[in-house]
């Protein structure tokens, strides 16, 4: 199928700013689904609120646009009632890890078969550039005009520690890797977290003098490196990209089915 078969063309051109990284995630996600050959009606996309969450509206899957930070709770309900469907949850960094932080760690701990894509632009884009738990120490935001003094989470470490059984990171620059990782994450039977570093030229870029979308993508290329590379040994500051965790643990819906069966058999 062509890209246009996966989108709701009537909503295009989309509302994102010129050069917004969330559009690249949309692009990569469509290509991942296309490569996997999954039927559109076998996918449910559940999103919260944010520029990132608007991605659900543009895709011609079953889609559910819910509450800020609560997408994973809705997605858990969908998955438990229809475990045969592929559930994908795109999230902003604020959506996933500020207001939604608790849902995030517990979904990971349960290992429910959902694919969470954290579209990390290090800022609250939709509401005008407030800092997020991923902005990082020393950055500028509308709520941190004299620099942010909060340290940031490392999404990969947080998701791994919380129990996600597939954890990966890529960027909007590394589109081929991003697409392959999303494919693998969708196929993984358990809770998958894919962090995609995404640029918000309008707020994060402008405030932090990172230039336009092109400059921001060049910067992502510069500050990241494949997991375990020589470059990382020489420069520990580099951010690693690739698949960090890939393991099998009982999946939540199957485990729950077992409990139901036991209860019915009375033992």
Give yes or no for residue 176 binding another protein (CB under 8 A).
yes
Give yes or no for residue 50 binding ligand TPP (CB under 6 A).
yes
Q: Which residues pair with 237 in a beta bridge?
A: none
Among 31, 62, 68, 241, the residue binding ligand TPP under the rule CB under 6 A is 68
Among 13, 37, 236, 266, the residue binding another protein under the rule CB under 8 A is 13
| In the complex, least distance from residue 128 CB atom to ligand SF4, rounded to whole angstroms | 8
**Cα distances (Å, whole numbers) of residue 183 to 168, 226, 246, 263:** 12, 18, 13, 36
Distance, CA of 185 to chain centre: 11
Give yes or no for residue 197 binding another protein (CB under 8 A).
no
Binding mask 8-47 vs ligand TPP (x if CB under 6 A, - otherwise)?
----------------------------------------
How many CB atoms neighbour CB 76 within 10 A? 21
| In the complex, least distance from residue 3 CB atom to another protein, rounded to whole angstroms | 6
Stretch that binds ligand TPP, among 86-94, 174-182, 189-197, 215-223 (CB under 6 A): 86-94
Q: By rule CB under 8 A, what count of residues binds another protein?
A: 28
Residue with tokens 């469907």: 85
Cα atoms found within 13 Å of the Cα of residue 179, Cβ hemisphere only: 15
| In the complex, least distance from residue 60 CB atom to another protein, rounded to whole angstroms | 13
Nearer to ligand TPP, 55 or 164 (CB): 55
Among 46, 87, 112, 213, the residue binding another protein under the rule CB under 8 A is 213
Nearer to ligand TPP, 111 or 210 (CB): 210
Among 26, 107, 116, 200, the residue binding ligand SF4 under the rule CB under 6 A is 200
Nearer to ligand SF4, 144 or 245 (CB): 144
Binding residues vs another protein (CB under 8 A): 3, 7, 12-14, 16-24, 26-28, 30-31, 172-173, 175-176, 179, 212-214, 217
Binding residues vs ligand TPP (CB under 6 A): 49-52, 68, 92-95, 99, 119, 121, 123-127, 132
């Amino acid at each position: 199928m062509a890209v246009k078969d996966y989108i709701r063309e009537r909503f295009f051109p989309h509302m994102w700013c010129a050069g917004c990284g969330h559009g690249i995630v949309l692009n990569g996600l469509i290509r991942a689904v296309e490569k996997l050959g999954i039927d559109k009606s076998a996918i449910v996309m559940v999103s919260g609120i944010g520029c990132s969450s608007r991605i659900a509206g543009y895709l011609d899957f079953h889609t559910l646009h819910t509450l800020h930070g609560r997408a994973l709770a809705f997605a858990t309900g969908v998955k438990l009632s229809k475990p045969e469907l592929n559930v994908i949850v795109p999230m902003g960094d604020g959506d996933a890890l500020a207001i939604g932080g608790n849902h995030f760690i517990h979904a990971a701990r349960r290992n429910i078969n959902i694919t969470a894509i954290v579209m990390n632009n290090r800022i609250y884009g939709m509401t005008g550039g407030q800092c997020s738990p991923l902005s990082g120490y020393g950055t500028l935001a509308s709520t941190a005009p004299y620099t942010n003094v909060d340290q940031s989470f490392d999404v990969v470490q947080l998701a791994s520690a919380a129990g996600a059984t597939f954890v990966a990171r890529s960027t909007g620059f590394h589109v081929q890797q991003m697409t392959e990782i999303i494919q693998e994450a969708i196929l993984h039977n358990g809770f998958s977290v894919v962090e995609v570093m995404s640029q918000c030229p309008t707020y994060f870029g402008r405030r932090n003098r990172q230039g336009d979308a092109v400059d921001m993508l060049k910067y992502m290329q510069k500050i990241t490196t494949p997991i375990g590379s020589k470059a990382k040994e020489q420069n520990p500051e580099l951010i690693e990209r690739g698949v960090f965790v890939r393991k099998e643990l009982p999946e939540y819906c199957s485990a729950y089915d077992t409990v139901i069966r036991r209860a019915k058999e009375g033992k």
